[in-house]
Amino acid sequence: MEALSIIALADKLRTDADAYEFLEDLRWNGKPVCPHCGSVRKHYFLTPANGASRKTRTGTASERRVWKCADCRKQFSVLTGTLLHGSKIPLRKWVFVIFEMCSSKNGVSAREIERKYNLTPKSAWFMLHRIREGMKRDPMAGLLSGRIVADETWIGGKPSNRHGHKRGQGGQGQTDKTPVLSLVSRETGEVRSRVVADVRGNSLRAVIAEQVDAKATHLHTDSAGSYAKIAGDFASHSAVDHHIGEYVRGDVSTNQAEAYFSQLKRSIDGTHHSVSREHLDRYLAEFDFRFSTRKISDSERMEMFGRQVGGRRLPYRIPTQRSSSDS
């Protein structure tokens, strides 16, 4: 894929028809696949090949590129069955916002997208959550193995900054910050983060077991007692003791996880300002995606995103089940 920038993308996508062709190249690599029956045989293109607008049954003009399957005879487009399915937002806007999400190291806030792309606050907020859904790790991805760094952090404001009557409230040692566990592969650089109920041994064991092949994993952590309790689950366990100023010993350290936490917290504080617990997992998926692909170009990252949007849907009722003040 050619190198992309905002200017190059604007030159490339003059119309929504151009945006459809662009996504078709990303998702299908020029070979349409029917999302209804999975057929890769010849498909019939129902709109003019030059992308000229056509009239819909209501009489309005549309540049939506529609295909018809030669096997099941059903119509489909590159958006069918994806996280963009059914969206009324012009596809060009979607492509530009996706590129910003893939290329912005610190993320992009919904308020910024609302202002830059002339969207309503709800549309911008929901749009970004749908993109985060597409950034989630592939459910079929294998377990991590080899040298794995595990570390935890806490996301949330300082209790000392709150109003007097709210200080000291919450559990976990007089704080209601949200604990997050991150696992970083020393071999591949991939990071996988999860919100956890607490940082006790049993809670960490359950989350780690879902992500790593314990018997093929050499776990690197700090000296927290929770890891000592589960050390026997792994091929080996090595720890550095931060209390005595030890941060690196040989090839053992938690610096990779600390680097990820540093980027995550700077971005949440500077871009989003506040992230609620019920939506934090989606934000973690976004930052995991960018951090894990930090060695590749923005174009390659967007191409990777385009290949994994199929089969992912996020109905509006799901992220709005609870009230949120996310930015």
Q: What is the pLDDT of residues 55-87, one digit of tens each?
A: 677 777 778 888 999 899 999 999 999 999 989
- Count of the separate structural domains present in the chain: 1
Residues whose CB is less than 8 angstroms from the CB of residue 141 and which lie 6 or more positions away in sequence, other chains included: none
Question: Rounded distance, CA 132 to CA 287, Å?
Answer: 9
Q: Is residue 298 part of a domain?
A: no
Question: Rounded distance, CA 131 to CA 109, Å?
Answer: 12
Question: Rounded distance, CA 140 to CA 122, Å?
Answer: 32
* CA 252 to chain CA mean position, Å: 28
Of 22-36, 142-156, 219-233, 275-289, the least confident? 22-36
Task: Give the mean model confidence (pLDDT) for residues 244-257.
Answer: 94
Query: Do the Cβ atoms of 29 and 304 come closer than 8 Å?
Result: no
Q: What is the pLDDT of residue 323?
A: 47
Beta strands in the chain (DSSP E): 43-45, 54-55, 61-62, 67-69, 75-76, 144-155, 178-185, 191-195, 212-222, 236-240, 248-249, 252-253
- The DSSP code for 160 is G
For the cut 50, the answer to whether the pLDDT of residue 190 exceeds it is yes
Of the candidates 36, 120, 119, 48, which has an alpha carbon nearest to the alpha carbon of residue 77?
36
Q: What is the pTM of this model?
A: 0.88
Q: Is residue 64 part of a domain?
A: no
Task: Give the mean model confidence (pLDDT) for residues 203-222.
Answer: 95
- The DSSP code for 82 is B
Which structural domain, as residue segments, surrounds residue 197?
A: 144-275
Q: Is residue 285 part of a domain?
A: no
Q: Is residue 225 part of a domain?
A: yes
- Looking up residue 156, the CATH number of its domain turns out to be 3.30.420
Q: Is residue 290 part of a domain?
A: no
Q: Is residue 175 part of a domain?
A: yes
DSSP helix/strand/coil, 150: strand
Q: Is residue 292 part of a domain?
A: no
For the record, the structure tokens of 33 come out as 């696949």
Q: What are phi and psi of 238, to 5 degrees?
A: -125, 145
Query: Do the Cβ atoms of 9 and 94 come closer than 8 Å?
Result: no
